[in-house]
Amino acid sequence: MQELQTAPSRSIKNLTALATNTSGLSAEQRRWAGRLALATSGFGLASGAYLSSKSQPTLRQIGMFAVTASVVGGLARWQFGRVFNWQPAYDVEAREGRLEVRRYYPEVHAITVVAEQWEQSLEEGVMRLAAYISGANSHGTRIPMTSPVLSTVAPRAPLLPSGSTSLEASGELERGVGVLPIADVMAAGPRQVDFVMPGGLTLADLPIPDDAQVRIVPVPGRRIAALGFRGRYGGDIPAHKRNELLFLAKVAHLRPRSEVWFAGYDAPSTLPVLRRNEVMVELDD
Counting beta carbons within 10 angstroms of the beta carbon of residue 280, is it exposed (0 to 12), middle (13 to 18) or buried (19 or more)? buried
Work out the pLDDT band at 69, boundaries 50, 70, 90: low
With contact defined as beta carbons under 8 Å apart, do 277 and 217 qualify? no
Work out the pLDDT band at 255, boundaries 50, 70, 90: very high
pLDDT at 190 over 50: yes
What's the chain's length in residues?
A: 285
What percentage of the chain exceeds 90 in pLDDT? Answer: 45
Interval 205-212 mean pLDDT: 96
Interval 107-134 mean pLDDT: 94
With contact defined as beta carbons under 8 Å apart, do 190 and 122 qualify? no
CA distance 78 to 267: 9
Ordered alpha helix ranges (H), the chain: 12-15, 27-52, 57-79, 118-133, 166-174, 182-186, 237-251
Interval 3-13 mean pLDDT: 34
- pLDDT single digits (tens) 99-116: 999 999 999 999 999 999
Interval 81-85 mean pLDDT: 63
Residue of 53 and 132 predicted with greater confidence: 132
pLDDT attached to residue 169: 43
What is the spatial order of strands in the sheet that 215-219 belongs to? Answer: 90-96, 99-104, 222-229, 277-283, 261-264, 149-152, 189-196, 107-116, 215-219
Residue of 6 and 159 predicted with greater confidence: 159
Ranking 21-30, 42-51, 60-69, 223-232 by mean pLDDT, the lowest is 21-30
Confidence (pTM): 0.71
pLDDT attached to residue 60: 61
pLDDT at 279 over 80: yes
Q: Which amino acid is residue 206, in one-letter code?
A: L
